[in-house]
Amino acid sequence: MQGIIESLSPEHSDIDWKWVGSVFVFYIVAMMLLAGGMISH
Q: How many CB atoms lie within 10 A of CB 17?
A: 9
Report pTM.
0.49
Give me the mean pLDDT over the 23-35 stretch.
95
d(CA 16, CA 12): 10
12, pLDDT greater than 60 = no
Q: φ, ψ for residue 13 (rounded to 5)? A: -75, -30
At residue 2, the pLDDT reads 62
Give me the mean pLDDT over the 6-32 stretch.
80
DSSP secondary structure string for all residues of 1-41:
-HHHHHHHSTT--S--HHHHHHHHHHHHHHHHHHHHHHHH-
At residue 40, the pLDDT reads 80
Instruction: Write down the mean pLDDT value for the chain.
Output: 79
